[in-house]
Every structure is written in structure tokens, then in C-alpha cells.
Amino acid sequence: MLPTLAAGSVDVVVTSPPYNLDLAYNAYDDARSEADYLAWMVQVAGAVRRVMRPDASFFLNIAGSNARPWLPFELIVRLRPLFVLQNHITWIKSVSTGDDTVGHFKPVAGRRFLNHNHEHVFHLTLTGDVQLDRLAIGVPFKDKSNIARRGHAQDARCRGNTWFIPYRTVQSRSQKYHHPGTFPLDLPRWCIRLHNRQDALVLDPFAGTGTTLVAAALEGARGIGIELDAAYVQTAAARLAEELGVRC
């Protein structure tokens, strides 16, 4: 489908491809050899590059595992000829401070590895100088005296490149739309908001159950989703219809 899209037409790409970690998708084999997977992802990234506007942002969410820790870094190095890595965002899914813990993670058995509580969001651009609206996802100052003292126009500062977005607690697979690799709605919303273009065209070439498309609708943007699995396409259409108040 990507070759059918007009060149230089997309403002924001937000996607989370399969991680090649043997997850149980309905219509995709998530157990390629590493060489095959990396070559395929470079091919996909090249097709994404063609449809991006000169000032577009490509937010690529990916993670490794304790058994395959190098995969995200192997991929991003292979993408270096195609893109500039403008920002490397760490999506924190669970965090512990002192005796308190917030968020969700899948516990790891055994005694060799720590629980895997974060994933990568690589912000890729064509030039490295794409302007962002950092305060669109900003956070308020702790010390309010800094607002006037440092000449800030509003009570907001840059969130930085660590984003704490916990999963919503679910009790069944149906609450995750029977998909093994969903991400929270706020993740694509923050990416779209950060890029901040009027009437933006948002693309997700691995649309899954449509989270990026729902995020685009909520942010007043247009969305294009590409998805292999017909069941996930139906779920995405139903979610969009519910959000937009129309029949699918």
C-alpha cells in the first residue's frame, strides 16, 4: 500500500511494527531470522521516507527483549543512511521511586534479568532540524517563581525525552482488542501534538487495532492506516466509528 501514497504527502508517521519477538499475531509470523527482519524493516522505512514531507516526523516505537537486547539498536543503525535521529525518547511503562511503584510491566522469571519497564521511541526526520512544539506536551513548573524569573510565557516547560505513559489496567485480552502489542492512546497523541501541524496527515503503516488513527482523530488530524490483518482492520474501523460517532 505504501507505494500507492503520494510522495511527500505525510506530516507525521507514528507506528509500532512487530518487534520480531515471537508474539502471537493472527496473520503475521513474528519469528523471522534477525537478518531477514532487519532487511525488511529497512525496506519499509525506505518506503516511509518517500511519502514524508521535507519537515515530517517519523516516530518509531520499538523494543528488544532480554533475550534479544540488540535488535532496536541494530535497526536504528541501519536506518542511519535514510534519516537523522533527531530525538531518542524513552517510553517508561512502569517506574519505581523509593518504595512506590506506578505503571504496569510483564514480570520476568528467573534471576538473571531485570523487569523490562521501558521501550524506545526514535524520532526520525529527513534533515534533523524539524521544529517542534515542545510545550504542547509540556509539564508545569514545580517552582512557580521560575515562570516570571526566567521569562517564561506560561506555566509549562519541556517534558524532555523520558515519557511516563503507563498502560491502562486490563483484566482480559478483549480489553486489548485481542492484539498482543498495543500501545497507549497517549503515545501517538503526544507525538502528533509535539509535531504540531495544522490539518496534519498522520500515517501508521502497522495500524493494528487503530490506536494511531483514533489519536489522529482526537487531535483534529487526518489519518491513514495500513494493516495486514482483516480482523484488526475491523476493530480499527469500529473504534474510529465510535470515536467519530458514525457507522462503520
The mean per-residue pLDDT over the stretch 69-84 comes to 97
Encode pLDDT of 187-207 as tens digits. Answer: 999 999 999 999 999 999 999
Spans of all domains in the chain: 2-244
pTM score: 0.91
Supply the pLDDT for residue 170. Answer: 55
Supply the pLDDT for residue 169. Answer: 60
The mean per-residue pLDDT over the stretch 91-116 comes to 88
3-state DSSP assignment of residue 165: coil
DSSP category for residue 209: T
Supply the pLDDT for residue 168. Answer: 76
Supply the pLDDT for residue 75. Answer: 97
Encode pLDDT of 130-188 as tens digits. Answer: 999 999 999 999 999 989 988 899 999 999 999 999 987 655 555 455 555 678 999 99
Supply the pLDDT for residue 150. Answer: 86
Q: Who wins on pLDDT, 165 or 106?
A: 165
**Burial profile 25-47: b = 16 or more Cβ within 10 angstroms, e = fewer:** beeeeeebeeeebbeebeeebee
Q: Which residue has the cell 503507563?
A: 166
**CATH placement of domain 2-244:** 3.40.50.150
Supply the pLDDT for residue 175. Answer: 47
CA-to-CA separations, 206 to 37, 66, 113, 160, in angstroms, rounded: 15, 24, 30, 26
Split at pLDDT 50, 70, 90, the class of 110 is confident
Please, what is the average pLDDT of the chain? 91
Supply the pLDDT for residue 162. Answer: 97
| Share above pLDDT 90 across residues of the chain, in percent, rounded to a whole number | 73
Question: By mean pLDDT, which of 30-34, 92-96, 132-136, 175-179 is the weakest?
Answer: 175-179
Q: Which residues make Cβ contacts (< 8 Å) with residue 84, sequence separation at least 6?
A: 124, 125, 126, 127, 128
Query: How wide is the angle at C-alpha 180 spanned by C-alphas 33 and 12, nearest 5°?
Result: 85
Split at pLDDT 50, 70, 90, the class of 23 is confident
Residue 202: CB atoms within 10 Å: 25
Q: Above 70 in pLDDT, residue 217? A: yes
DSSP per residue, 103-162: E--PPPPSSSS----EEEEEEEESSS-----GGGG-B--SSTHHHHHTT-SSS-B---SE
Supply the pLDDT for residue 26. Answer: 80
Among candidate residues 176, 226, 236, 165, the one with its CA nearest the CA of residue 24: 176
